Amino acid sequence: MKWAARNWEEVAVALYEHVLISLTALVIAAAISLALGIWAARRPRVFAATLAITGMLYTIPTLAFLALLIPLVGLGKTNVIIAMVAFSLLIMTRNVATGIREVPADIVEAAKGMGMSAWQVLARVELPLALPVIVAGLRIATVTVISVTTVGAYVNAGGLGTLIFNGIATDHAPKIWTGALAACALAVAADLALARLERALKNDRAA
């Protein structure tokens, strides 16, 4: 850890870039997933097609995906952000759609019976009830994206992977450890924070 202490500025920059890339990708992916999930929730065929397509995007090896994007967007942060958005769509879209599907039909009926429009049912009944499941998806996606973003350093996007790749190139283990443990710590911290949010939402529901 001596290396990390002596080079804290380099570590801080890498950490900042890492958070920036992951966060941008997650926000974009969350917006797309929310729209896609709401659309697919009550349409079984759309749901199946969405899972098949996002499942394929999820399965493509990260380095291959980054490479395939180079002819289209070149090197850098945009490349990795697109790859990470594509990568996290499956997990989040699946949870948005499942969360809405799991809302008991009689509750939805009751809301309609009270004269709510489809949009009101969605905004006031379905989405609030689906929220714990949606946050659970966000949590898994966040942890995986933080971990996988490290590979992005290879296409000049920066982030904690920079330390790992530099460490490999110079055969310098402390640098690799710093990058690896920082990515790990960031993922665990995000996981704990979102777990707390998930629990709070569930308790809120129970009360």
Binding site for other proteins (CB under 8 A): 55-56, 59-65, 67-68, 70-71, 143, 146-148, 150-151, 154-155, 161, 164-165, 167-168, 171, 173, 176-177, 179-180, 183-184, 187-188, 191
Could you tell me the smallest distance in angstroms from the CB atom of residue 3 to other proteins?
Answer: 13
Instruction: Give the C-alpha separation, 34 to 37, whole Å.
Output: 5
Could you tell me the smallest distance in angstroms from the CB atom of residue 69 to other proteins?
Answer: 10
- Burial tier of 148 (Cβ tally within 10 Å: 0-12, 13-18, 19+): buried
Residue closer to other proteins, measured from CB, 66 or 111: 66
Instruction: Give the C-alpha separation, 138 to 130, whole Å.
Output: 13
Residue closer to other proteins, measured from CB, 60 or 197: 60
Could you tell me the smallest distance in angstroms from the CB atom of residue 42 to other proteins?
Answer: 25
Helix and strand numbers, DSSP H then E, in the chain: 10, 0
Helix (H) or strand (E) holding 18, with range, is helix 8-41
Residue closer to other proteins, measured from CB, 39 or 165: 165
Do 158 and 17 meet the contact criterion of CB atoms below 8 Å apart?
yes
Residue closer to other proteins, measured from CB, 136 or 164: 164
